[in-house]
Amino acid sequence: FKNTIKTIKYYVLLMSGGPGSGKGTQCEKIVAKYGYTHLSSGDLLRAEVASGSERGKQLQAIMQKGELVPLDTVLDMIKEAMIAKADVSKGYLIDGYPREVKQGEEFEKKIGAPALLLYVDAKAETMVKRLVKRGETSGRADDNEETIKKRLDLYYKATEPVIAYYEKRSIVRKINSELPVDEVFAIVEKAIDELK
Ligand X SMILES: Nc1ccn([C@@H]2O[C@H](COP(=O)(O)OP(=O)(O)OP(=O)(O)O)[C@@H](O)[C@H]2O)c(=O)n1
Which positions make up the binding site for ATP? 20-25, 134, 179
Least Cβ distance, residue 152 to ligand GDP (angstroms): 11
Closest CA to 135 of 120, 119, 155, 151: 151
Cα–Cα distance for residue pair 69/63, rounded to 1 Å: 7
| φ and ψ at residue 73, rounded to 5 degrees | -60, -50
Residue 130 interacting partner from Mg ion, ligand X, ligand GDP, none (CB closer than 5 to 8 Å by kind) = ligand GDP
* Closest approach of Mg ion to the CB of residue 66, in Å: 14
Measure the CA–CA gap between 81 and 79, rounded to whole angstroms.
Answer: 5
Residue whose CB is less far from ligand GDP, 19 or 98: 19
Site string for ligand GDP, 128-167 (x = CB under 6 A): --x--xx---------------------------------
Kindly identify the residues of this chain, within the stretch 109-138, that bind ligand X according to CB under 6 A. Answer: none
Q: Does 73 bind ligand GDP (CB under 6 A)?
A: no
- Measure the CA angle with vertex 174, ends 16 and 131; round to 5°: 50
Smallest CA-to-CA distance from 116 within 180, 6, 34 is with 34
Beta-bridge mates of residue 121? 176
Question: Which of ligand X, ligand GDP, Mg ion, none sits in contact with 25, Cβ below 5 to 8 A by type?
Answer: ligand GDP
Backbone phi, psi, residue 179, to 5°? -75, 165
Question: Tell me, what DSSP letter sits at residue 173?
Answer: E
Among 33, 35, 67, 178, binds ligand X (CB under 6 A): 67
Among 121, 175, 177, 188, binds ligand GDP (CB under 6 A): 177
Cα–Cα dist 93/114, whole Å: 10
Closest to ligand X by CB, 41 or 177: 41
8 A C-beta contact, residue 17 and residue 9: no
- CA pair distance 110, 75, nearest whole angstrom: 9
Give me the residues that bind Mg ion (CB under 5 A), please: 24
Residues that bind ligand GDP (CB under 6 A): 17, 19-25, 130, 133-134, 177, 180-181, 184
Residues that bind ligand X (CB under 6 A): 19-20, 23-24, 41-42, 45, 62-63, 66-69, 74, 96-97, 99, 142, 151
